[in-house]
Chain A
Amino acid sequence: MAVLAVALSSAAGGFAYFLPAVQEAFDATSQVIVLPTPTPTPSPSSTGTAKPTPRPPDAFTVLLLGSDNDAKFIGDHILTQSMIIVRFNPSSKRVTMLSIPRDLWVPLSTGGIGKIDGAYSYGGAGAAIATVENNFGITIDAYIWIGLAGLVNVINAIGGIDVVTQAPVFDDFYPFDVGPGNPYRYLRVAVLAGPQHLDGTHALQYVRSRHNDLQSDFGRSARQQQVLLALRAKAAQVSAADLPLLAAAMKGQIKTNMSLSRIATLLPLAGGIDIKNIQQVVLLPPYTHGCGCPDGYVVPVWGAILPLVHQYFP
């Protein structure tokens, strides 16, 4: 009787410890996604509509979405500034990351044609997933969405990351919109070049600034992939006892439709993959080209993109 009581109370202590993490996990995971019913619209001749191709049976594809979700935006009507398709292939222990330019001009799953970053704004995660699937011919198994503050908090919660910043990032007009105050202010930022330890704020500046990069959003995409890899390396040092702290950091800033069991399966897999087996793809020209127009959208060259996608995401 006494032993049972002690065991139960110990379990209660453990439950109390992990309760915040469990609460956040339930809040953030297993999000229901609604796939939009598109309004038929004429597609351009260069449409990317493609049929999904067979893929390795155990492969798992996640769409990572990163958004400006500051006070400039109302509710969930936010643009996805970052869209990265990540394919885990457990049997070959390989990972492929493909960054989609946020300004890519595509037919949207919600109807009409527009920049791909608007899909989430019009129809949430379901619309973003369907737009990617329809255009790239890839089946997306799950999505993970993270807000600006979420990225900052997560990186701070794991004590920062070490990266080799590929070039100095100077920006006189960096949006000063994380935190309280007028979200339309600007900040001067200077992230110096070379190996260094970045906290969450400076990591966000590094991956978000695009004004001082000839490759603009493409250069930014490469930096985002770099920080993801650094995060992965640091996350491998995190223990289960850190989960409540991480959950507090992520509160309200991360959403996914993955179940807890799926996450539990994928986390060790992600940590165990050699960095040499991680393939990074950015859709620079000749896969895309500028429109030469004031809207500044990016025109996909599907004839080049789809073979590339089928190569890396069979």
Chain B
Amino acid sequence: MISRAAVAAGIAVLMVVSSIGTYMYLGSRQSKVAAPAQLPTSSTPSPTSFNLPGTLFVTQGGAIYSLSAGRFHQLTPAVGWTQLAPYPDGRLLAVKRSLLYSDIYVIDRFGKVLRQLTHNTAAALNYDPSARHWSFYPRLSYNKKSIFMSYDKPKFGFDVPMSIWSMPVGGNINQGRLWSIAIDYTGGDIQPLPLRNGIIYTKYTYGPDCSGLESQLWFTGGPEQAYGGLRVCSPPPGDSHGRPLTRANEGCAQPSLSPDGRTMAMICTHRTQVSYLTLASWNGKTLGPRRTVVSNVLVAQPTWAPDGTGLAYLAPAVLGAGFQLWWLPKAAYAPPTPGPSPAAPTPTPGAPASSPSPTPTPSPSSPPVVVKPVQMTSNLGLDATSPIVWLG
């Protein structure tokens, strides 16, 4: 016969177990929203990543990672590295960001620092915040003789706009040339894309009527001339100030030119709070009609595969859960020449929209094959403000 004491003890144990169990069960039901991003080196990319040619370089949490043959490798410690760009012989340009300033470095493909190109800090005892500078978005010029970058000079008290500068390779910023005249109180000009005959960059303006802050792709064939006079909301007409390639209300930024130099990839917001991956033909002077190939997500940093087989970009898989690497095969935006009567596909939110057919006669016998973007990573927190570098 079981004694009362044993029963009581049993119930007591049950009570302890059930109360602790309930507490722990509830704890296990927490959502994963606050879970830190996984390190790329401890993640398993999509099997598709094995098929990607060459090596991709991305940043996360201040560290540079490479992705080749389906595996990530950490190249640097997490000490503020961001904003990569290709440099000859497999090397990279990279920005190292500190609390109060940032500098541009040349690193090799294994992450070893070879050279510091800018020196944007000030003496430790100089407490004037404006004595330091930011350098972002470095790019090597077409002729490989200079470095383009966004640099916060000149600045005017509270107004700290970025301007596009070029600096000789092997020189310093004092030998630099100012290429763009930033509009006051916009944040300025960023993301230079060097071309044979000038640069394309992202310019922030308030538009001709000063109505709202918008980003535009801008072209300039040489250093722009100062506007002079009063503050302006957008550059005055005239070739000496460059010219817009996109309309202000398109909100386009982050230009990326295809390896054959004939197609521009960019992101456009169209005054929404999402960004669209947009393609347009480029003839060396103007952009052609726009084609949205990925819509209604936060697309960032479109980057062409070196062999032209597709585009990589960053976007969250779930809103708020960090940016992942995506791959958009060429078939998604430039499908192979179809049969005699292809159907005109309807763009799908979050999926690529095939190019409009020149003969939009539906053909029930040959439904279009919609090629969707491939999510290459999960649970990462890739730096969406840092361009991807893809070397062949």
The interface of chain A, by Cβ under 8 A from chain B, is 1-2, 5-6, 8-14, 16-18, 156-164, 166-173, 186-188, 190, 192-197, 211-215, 219, 226, 229-230, 233-234, 237-242, 245, 275
A11-B215 Cα distance, complex, nearest whole Å? 55
- B15-23, B48-56, B63-71: which lies at the A interface? B15-23
Is the Cβ of A214 less than 8 Å from the Cβ of B320?
no
Q: Is residue B239 contacting chain A, with contact meaning CB distance below 8 A?
A: no
A157-B383 Cα distance, complex, nearest whole Å? 20
Q: Is residue B138 contacting chain A, with contact meaning CB distance below 8 A?
A: no
A215-B187 Cα distance, complex, nearest whole Å? 12
**Residues of chain B contacted by A215 (CB below 8 angstroms):** 213
Q: Is residue B338 contacting chain A, with contact meaning CB distance below 8 A?
A: no
A208-B46 Cα distance, complex, nearest whole Å? 39
Interface size class of B (residues with CB under 8 A): 35 or more
The 7 closest A-B pairs by CB, nearest first: A13-B22, A168-B187, A13-B19, A9-B15, A214-B185, A234-B320, A211-B158
Q: Is residue B101 contacting chain A, with contact meaning CB distance below 8 A?
A: yes
Interface string of B117-134 (1 = CB under 8 A from A): 000000000000110101
Chain A interface secondary structure, helix, strand, loop or mixed?
mixed
**Residues of chain B contacted by A172 (CB below 8 angstroms):** 129-130, 155, 158, 160
Is the Cβ of A187 less than 8 Å from the Cβ of B274?
no
**Residues of chain B contacted by A171 (CB below 8 angstroms):** 158, 160
**Residues of chain B contacted by A8 (CB below 8 angstroms):** 15
**Residue on B with the closest CB to A249?**
B34
CB < 8 Å neighbour of B160 from A13, A167, A212, A242 = A212
**Residue on B with the closest CB to A167?**
B187
**Residue on B with the closest CB to A14?**
B22
CB < 8 Å neighbour of B300 from A157, A194, A211, A219 = A194
Is the Cβ of B18 less than 8 Å from the Cβ of A10?
yes
Is the Cβ of B162 less than 8 Å from the Cβ of A167?
no
**Residues of chain A contacted by B319 (CB below 8 angstroms):** 162, 233-234
Given A9-B19, A173-B129, decide whether A168 and B162 contact each other with a Cβ distance below 8 A.
yes
Is the Cβ of A195 less than 8 Å from the Cβ of B15?
no
Is the Cβ of A13 less than 8 Å from the Cβ of B21?
yes
Is the Cβ of A195 less than 8 Å from the Cβ of B299?
yes
A213-B212 Cα distance, complex, nearest whole Å? 11
**Residue on A with the closest CB to B133?**
A188
> 27 A-B Cβ contacts within 8 A?
A1-B11, A8-B15, A9-B22, A13-B21, A16-B23, A161-B320, A163-B273, A164-B274, A168-B187, A170-B162, A173-B129, A173-B130, A173-B158, A190-B136, A193-B204, A193-B253, A194-B267, A196-B383, A211-B160, A212-B158, A230-B273, A234-B320, A237-B31, A239-B29, A241-B28, A242-B31, A245-B30
Q: Is residue B321 contacting chain A, with contact meaning CB distance below 8 A?
A: yes
A164-B152 Cα distance, complex, nearest whole Å? 22
A162-B274 Cα distance, complex, nearest whole Å? 10
Is the Cβ of B300 less than 8 Å from the Cβ of A237?
no
The minimal Cβ–Cβ distance linking A206 to chain B, given in whole angstroms, is 11
A1-B11 Cα distance, complex, nearest whole Å? 9
Is the Cβ of B187 less than 8 Å from the Cβ of A2?
no
Is the Cβ of B187 less than 8 Å from the Cβ of A162?
no
Is the Cβ of A162 less than 8 Å from the Cβ of B204?
no
Given A12-B19, A162-B319, decide whether A241 and B27 contact each other with a Cβ distance below 8 A.
yes
A305-B128 Cα distance, complex, nearest whole Å? 41
A226-B318 Cα distance, complex, nearest whole Å? 18
**Residues of chain A contacted by B385 (CB below 8 angstroms):** 192-194, 196
**Residues of chain B contacted by A161 (CB below 8 angstroms):** 320
**Residues of chain A contacted by B155 (CB below 8 angstroms):** 172
Interface string of B126-165 (1 = CB under 8 A from A): 0001101010100000000000000010010011111000
The minimal Cβ–Cβ distance linking B85 to chain A, given in whole angstroms, is 15
Q: Is residue B6 contacting chain A, with contact meaning CB distance below 8 A?
A: no
Given A194-B253, A197-B381, decide whether A237 and B22 contact each other with a Cβ distance below 8 A.
no
- Interface centre among B33, B185, B213, by most chain A C-beta atoms within 10 angstroms, is B33
B residues 166-206 near A (Cβ < 8 Å) are 184-188, 190, 202, 204, 206
